[in-house]
A = this chain, B = another copy of it.
Amino acid sequence: MPTIGIADTTFARYNMGAAAIDELKNSISAKIIRVTVPGIKDLPVAAKKLLEEQHCDIVIALGMPGRQPQDKICAHEASQGIILAQLMTNKHIIEVFVHEDEGKDDKELAFLMEQRSREHAQNVVKMLTNPEKMIKEAGTGQREGFKDAKPLS
């Protein structure tokens, strides 16, 4: 049984961690360990600690970068840290970021945060249990949260 880590933030305006956990519980038999940190820049080390100290096989790191230019820079820093944490551990951390300005209003934003969290939880399930299925979807324009893109062929 795999161990899946969930790291999310108190800054986000929607409980993304709960959405991801609910989706995982409906789809896979796994041990789930959750940690919540203040903001997205705290996610890289939180995820690495889940991988190394809590022996997670994979982590989902969820956050909502704000709408200000400075928030975009924070998101960039967090993403770089999440990539580095993966390279230091040889394990995947699936980043689920929904930028606050991706939704046209609060309702769409909430929908997107729920939906993207769930669809990336499904990616994690596939990566853990059926990597061949990922190969079959290579180049098919998959999107998480919004409608998939049109494949070119």
Q: Which residues of A contact B (CB under 8 A)?
A: 8-18, 34-38, 41-42, 44-46, 48-49, 52-53, 70, 72-74, 76-88, 90-95, 99, 106, 109-110, 113, 120, 123, 127, 131, 134-135, 137-144, 149-153
Q: Which residue of B lies closest to A11 (CB)?
A: B142
Inter-chain contact B90/A81, CB cutoff 8 Å: no
Query: Which of B16, B48, B73, B131 meets A90, CB within 8 Å?
Result: B48
- For residue A151, which residue of chain B has the nearest CB? B13
A11, A76, A94 — most chain B CB neighbours (10 Å): A11
Q: Hey, which chain B residues are within 8 Å of A93, CB to CB?
A: 45
Q: Are A13 and B139 in contact (CB under 8 A)?
A: yes
Query: Which residues of B are found within 8 Å of A74, using beta-carbon distances?
Result: 79
Would A90 and B49 be within 8 Å (CB), given that A10-B142, A41-B95, A106-B152 are in contact? yes
Residues in B with CB closer than 8 Å to A84 are 81, 83-84, 87
Contact A12-B92, Cβ < 8 Å, known A45-B87, A120-B38, A134-B37: no
The residue that A135 contacts in the complex, of B36, B92, B139, with Cβ under 8 A, is: B36
Measured in the bound complex, the distance between the Cα atoms of B91 and A52 in whole Å is: 12
Give CA–CA (A135, B9) in the complex, Å: 8
Known: A42-B94, A45-B92, A110-B153. A141 touches B87 (CB 8 A): no
